[in-house]
Chain A
């Protein structure tokens, strides 16, 4: 999975924030529009796009978009190994 695509998918959960603002190192909690509702949209997005269901803990422990990308990517890899 490409991080570029993940960042675009992540940015698509926001209505008012310019998608150009999102980078791998963006601390998403510092974005003004970030809210618990957007957190739910992110959980729904990773389930739909990547078949990975994030836990509340995953989102709480992540600081940047890249942190979330790494969690999702590691679960995809595990699924692949498990065949």
Chain B
């Protein structure tokens, strides 16, 4: 297992942007029997989600989040040395979206930039990559843009995914400075690659007539080979086997105990799963902010989105010197980060215009 310590780098600022269109889970009567809808909403803890309009991409949400971050913190785009874009819904297959964002944001050409293809573990991974670069001589600031528009790649006739997923884009500025140490644990298990996958549309199984054909499974879910396929029971099995133990091991690595956790920001998978983790970790509910009731599961964007929506108010979640972040999902890929957000400026959530 990869355990990493960083010194002298930290998060200067975080912002997030969601599309204005609200989708209500109570309106899913076409998909789920009316009698069950309340039960599903109660169990997953997701009431509403946001969807982008056609033509609005993850990168567009990240772009507006980045503008907000620059504006709120008087950041000169010329001061950015690197831009990392993390998404599974990039603008194009070729080229990378990161260069398009570098140009749109007016960041200098002397800026390293690349895309990373990761799902729900993406923010924790992205922070570790950004912290690595910012630890090097010659790099002061990295802009980490993490966004997802899962509305574009799920089947609207699939009960396993529709009630969960929403769209969001975020921006995080990482820089060298007088920040406390931070710790990361990063993990992988490709034996579970098929638990969450889009089978077609890549080089392994290119898009073809068959890949767009819809089939209906025994649970009544209709889905094509171009949509996300998710085996919910195995995702849960994966989560309970890996997430609480990864958090505990990283706490032990940096000589902390569960009681030292100030804020626990889970990837907003669903409430059933995160409640299970909290119970296992014996973590009190006042330490675990949630945004999923209003925004659903936004994959890699869910951790920074939750920080923005729940911690913008500095009166809430005041013990910010030990913030634990946990991401887990497709890959399988999972990770934990432990860091301080004491010196982090958090912007108010913006709606996409």
Give A contacts to B, CB under 8 Å.
15, 35-37, 39-40, 43-44, 47, 53-57, 59
What bracket does the count of chain B residues touching chain A fall in? 10 to 19
Task: Give B196 Cβ to nearest chain A Cβ, in Å.
Answer: 12
> B residues within 8 A CB of A37?
39-40, 43, 272
Decide if B39 touches A44 in the complex (CB within 8 Å): no
Task: Give B222 Cβ to nearest chain A Cβ, in Å.
Answer: 16
A-B interface contact total, Cβ < 8 Å: 40
Look across to chain B and name the residue whose beta carbon is closest to the beta carbon of A39. Answer: B233
> A residues within 8 A CB of B240?
43-44, 47, 53
> B residues within 8 A CB of A43?
233, 236-237, 240
The distance in angstroms between the C-alpha atoms of A36 and B272, with both chains bound, is 12
> B residues within 8 A CB of A54?
233, 237
Task: Give A67 Cβ to nearest chain B Cβ, in Å.
Answer: 15
Give B contacts to A, CB under 8 Å.
36, 39-40, 43, 159-160, 219, 231-234, 236-237, 240-241, 272, 276
Decide if A55 touches B237 in the complex (CB within 8 Å): yes
Look across to chain A and name the residue whose beta carbon is closest to the beta carbon of B195. Answer: A56
Decide if A36 touches B233 in the complex (CB within 8 Å): yes
> A residues within 8 A CB of B232?
36, 39-40, 56
Q: Is the interface of A mostly helix, strand, loop or mixed?
A: helix
28 A–B pairs (Cβ distance < 8 Å), ordered by A: A15-B39, A36-B159, A36-B160, A36-B219, A36-B233, A37-B39, A37-B40, A37-B272, A39-B233, A40-B232, A40-B233, A40-B236, A40-B272, A43-B233, A43-B236, A43-B237, A44-B276, A47-B240, A53-B237, A53-B241, A55-B233, A55-B234, A55-B237, A56-B231, A56-B232, A56-B233, A56-B237, A59-B233
> B residues within 8 A CB of A40?
232-233, 236, 272
The distance in angstroms between the C-alpha atoms of A44 and B219, with both chains bound, is 21
> A residues within 8 A CB of B241?
53
The distance in angstroms between the C-alpha atoms of A40 and B164, with both chains bound, is 15
Interface centre among A15, A55, A57, A59 (most CB of B within 10 A): A55
Look across to chain B and name the residue whose beta carbon is closest to the beta carbon of A37. Answer: B43
> B residues within 8 A CB of A39?
232-233
The distance in angstroms between the C-alpha atoms of A40 and B237, with both chains bound, is 9
